[in-house]
Each structure stands twice: as C-alpha cells, then as structure tokens.
A and B are shown apart, each in its own frame.
Chain A
C-alpha cells in the first residue's frame, strides 16, 4: 500500500521546495529526501530556475549598462541635494544658475530693457499720432478715421473687462491660485 510519503512530489511543490528550502517540512520534503528520482527532478528544476534567473538578470543588466547606473546615481544624489536647499521661485527651466553677474552688466541690462520699452511704446503710438486720415488715403476718408477713433474706447473697455474678470478679488475661483503664487516682495 502506497502511503503519502511514497508519492512522488508534484512539479509545483517541487519548485516551491527549490525556491524556498525553508518550506521543506512536510510530507513532500520527507519524500524528496528519500527519493532519488524526485531529487533528480528537483535538481533539474533548480537548473531551469537558475537559468531563467540568470537570463532575467542579463536582460536587466543589458537594459541598464554601467554608464546608465552612474547617471541614475548622479540623478538620485542631485535630487536629494536639491531637497536640502530652499526651492527657487519660478526658476526658468533649462537654465542653470551661473552665479551672480557683475553689477555693471546688470545695470546695462536694465537700461537696455527700459530703452526698449520706451521705444516700443513710442512705436506703438506712431500710427495713432495722425488720426485725421489713414496712410495713403485720399481726402475723402473720414469714415475710416471715425471708425478708428471709436475702436480705442472699445479696446480700453475690453481690457478693463479682462482685468476685472481676472481680478482675484472678484473671482473666488482664482483666490486659491492667487494665494499660492509668490509676489515679488515675497521673493528674497
């Protein structure tokens, strides 16, 4: 009469015993100790599992060569070090801080920006200086003149409406966003 200990170990249990030797306390493990055939099957199962494990490791290592691991390690440390320091407000993406510029450079930059602003404003006003007639128009073009004269208040009205619509004081949906957004005097 065959007992529980006489039965050969099934494949799944055999793999469990190979993967987890600590599980070898039941009838299957007892049988395995005394059965040359099952021991051979276990050795074959171990060889197959080792082979697939090695193939899996090789696949991962091929996808992550040493250079990629170095880059990853640097990225991790960089993220950690960034976490140490206070966040920079609205840092422009893609530019690294290159240290403080000389003071004179910054003065020239500010002067150039201001000059550009003034020139831009003047250039924007030039077409409006002569409102009596459009360029190239003959003496009988008053209708166009009056239409342009009427446009400016319309633009002003539109811009005022846009300003009012975006004013957080009047738009409760924007209050939370406004509270989160830093303002210039909060920036060190």
Chain B
C-alpha cells in the first residue's frame, strides 16, 4: 500500500522551502538585520499560513479563535527564530508551536466562558454552514460536508492527544514520524493514539469514517 497524493508532495516541498526561509531569517536576525528578517518572515508566513489556519480552525472550531491562535503562533515563532535548529524539520517545530497556541486559546476560551453568559455561543455558525452557504455545491460535496460536520463534532469530543494526532494525520496529512517530533512522543505512541482515536470515532459515528 503506498499512497503519495499530490498534496503530500506539495506539503513536503513547502516544508523544505519553509526550512530554507527559516534558516535565512535566523541568519539575518543574528546579523542584526531585523527589517530584512521581518520582510523575509512574511514569506514564511505565506508558505505556512493556509495550513496553519486550516489546522487551527478545525482544532478550535471557531474562526476568531483560530485567527488569534495562528497570529500568536507566528509571532511566537518569530520571537524564537534565533533558536531554530536547521538540522531539524521546520514543520515539526512550527506544528508544535501552533498546537500549543491552539491549546492556550482553548484554555482562554474556557476561562472566558466561566465569566460570560453563553449568549448564542460565538456568533459563528458551524464551519459547514458557512461553507455550504458560500454557493451551490454538487451533491457529493454536500454529502462529504455533512459527513465532515458529524466527524468534526466527534473529533472535538476526543481526548486532547488523540485529537491532535487525528487532526495532524488526517487533515494535515503528516506522517507519524513527523507528528511524533511535533508532539514530543514516539511514533509508536502516535500510532496508538491514532488507533484509539479511529476506534472512538467509529463508535461515535456508528460506522466507518
């Protein structure tokens, strides 16, 4: 069984490009050329931004929170660029920063909900509602979207580690080896979390994903 869809190739290429840019940004910062470094960092944002937004959006299930988490992650990344190690994959490093930013945002949201009356939640409809409302879609897309809506709710109910692993594996198409580096666990542990996540999702959905 070998699967190498074009998306994975693009992801790998983007990862290599991001690593090269990150190394250059680090060099510029160390040489004191902060303005050029910031400008080049904009390119790094462009390379990773869409992926980051998708991950954060599905992690937090809220556009405003995802926006904040992605911004925080990039700002934190820039603040730590001088500690970037070019011998390690940039993607794993940034994924960890992003997941932590999402966790922080989720915690902040939980704290805020203790103080605020839940007045119609966050004002955002489900991601699916938004997507479907954008325009007419073929029946198949709608069915897949409906399936994703169900799946998304079930994913949110997973324990944190299982959710992290499932989202990174399924949505971001990362290999267990990369996820292991991002989340600081062994590839075997990643596979265990993935197995448990799939089993729980299957139970929650009453059938295969």
**Interfacial residues of chain B within 118-153, with CB under 8 A of chain A in the complex:** 124, 127-128, 130-131, 134, 140-141, 143-145, 147-148, 151-152
Which residue from chain A places its CB closest to the CB of B191 in the assembled complex?
A23
Roughly how many angstroms separate A107 CA and B177 CA in the complex, as a whole number? 67
Contact assessment for A53 and B49 in the assembled complex, using a CB-CB cutoff below 8 Å:
no
* Among A15, A59, A76, contact of B74 (Cβ-Cβ < 8 Å): A76
Contact assessment for B194 and A63 in the assembled complex, using a CB-CB cutoff below 8 Å:
no
* Among A12, A52, A61, A68, contact of B54 (Cβ-Cβ < 8 Å): A61
Contact assessment for A20 and B131 in the assembled complex, using a CB-CB cutoff below 8 Å:
no
- The interface residues of chain B, by DSSP majority, are classed as helix
Contact assessment for B171 and A56 in the assembled complex, using a CB-CB cutoff below 8 Å:
yes
Give the chain A neighbours of B177 by CB distance below 8 A. Answer: 22
Roughly how many angstroms separate A54 CA and B148 CA in the complex, as a whole number? 9
**Interfacial residues of chain B within 195-209, with CB under 8 A of chain A in the complex:** 195, 198-199, 202, 208-209
Q: Does A16 contact B (CB under 8 A)?
A: yes
A-contact 0/1 string along B26-42, CB 8 Å cutoff = 00000000110010011
Contact assessment for A53 and B170 in the assembled complex, using a CB-CB cutoff below 8 Å:
yes
* Among B49, B63, B147, B148, contact of A73 (Cβ-Cβ < 8 Å): B49
Q: Does A188 contact B (CB under 8 A)?
A: no
Contact assessment for B148 and A52 in the assembled complex, using a CB-CB cutoff below 8 Å:
yes
Roughly how many angstroms separate A24 CA and B143 CA in the complex, as a whole number? 30
Roughly how many angstroms separate A15 CA and B41 CA in the complex, as a whole number? 37
Contact assessment for A16 and B191 in the assembled complex, using a CB-CB cutoff below 8 Å:
yes
Roughly how many angstroms separate A153 CA and B208 CA in the complex, as a whole number? 83
Q: Does B78 contact A (CB under 8 A)?
A: yes
Query: A42-B1, A77-B45 are known contacts. Are A64 and B171 too (CB-CB below 8 A)?
Result: no
Which residue from chain B places its CB closest to the CB of A82 in the assembled complex?
B75
Give the chain A neighbours of B35 by CB distance below 8 A. Answer: 84
State how many angstroms separate the Cβ of B177 from the closest Cβ of chain A: 7
Contact assessment for A52 and B151 in the assembled complex, using a CB-CB cutoff below 8 Å:
yes
State how many angstroms separate the Cβ of A73 from the closest Cβ of chain B: 5
Which residue from chain A places its CB closest to the CB of B187 in the assembled complex?
A22
Contact assessment for B1 and A32 in the assembled complex, using a CB-CB cutoff below 8 Å:
yes
State how many angstroms separate the Cβ of B10 from the closest Cβ of chain A: 13
Contact assessment for A62 and B208 in the assembled complex, using a CB-CB cutoff below 8 Å:
no
Number of interface residues of A (CB under 8 A): 47
Q: Does A48 contact B (CB under 8 A)?
A: yes
* Among B53, B63, B176, contact of A22 (Cβ-Cβ < 8 Å): B176
Give the chain A neighbours of B124 by CB distance below 8 A. Answer: 63
Which residue from chain B places its CB closest to the CB of A56 in the assembled complex?
B148
Contact assessment for A62 and B3 in the assembled complex, using a CB-CB cutoff below 8 Å:
no
Roughly how many angstroms separate A17 CA and B140 CA in the complex, as a whole number? 25
B-contact 0/1 string along A1-43, CB 8 Å cutoff = 0000000000110011111111110000100110000000010
Q: Does B96 contact A (CB under 8 A)?
A: no
A-contact 0/1 string along B1-15, CB 8 Å cutoff = 111010000000000
Give the chain A neighbours of B128 by CB distance below 8 A. Answer: 55, 59
* Among A11, A33, A68, contact of B1 (Cβ-Cβ < 8 Å): A33
Query: A52-B151, A53-B170, A63-B63 are known contacts. Are A20 and B176 too (CB-CB below 8 A)?
Result: yes
State how many angstroms separate the Cβ of B189 from the closest Cβ of chain A: 13
State how many angstroms separate the Cβ of A55 from the closest Cβ of chain B: 4
Q: Does A132 contact B (CB under 8 A)?
A: no
Residues of B within 8 A of A (CB): 1-3, 5, 34-35, 38, 41-42, 45-46, 49-50, 53-54, 57-58, 63, 66-67, 70-71, 74-75, 78-79, 124, 127-128, 130-131, 134, 140-141, 143-145, 147-148, 151-152, 169-171, 173, 175-177, 191, 194-195, 198-199, 202, 208-209
- Further contacts, 6 of them, CB under 8 A, given A49-B170, A63-B127: A15-B208, A16-B198, A56-B54, A60-B54, A64-B66, A73-B42
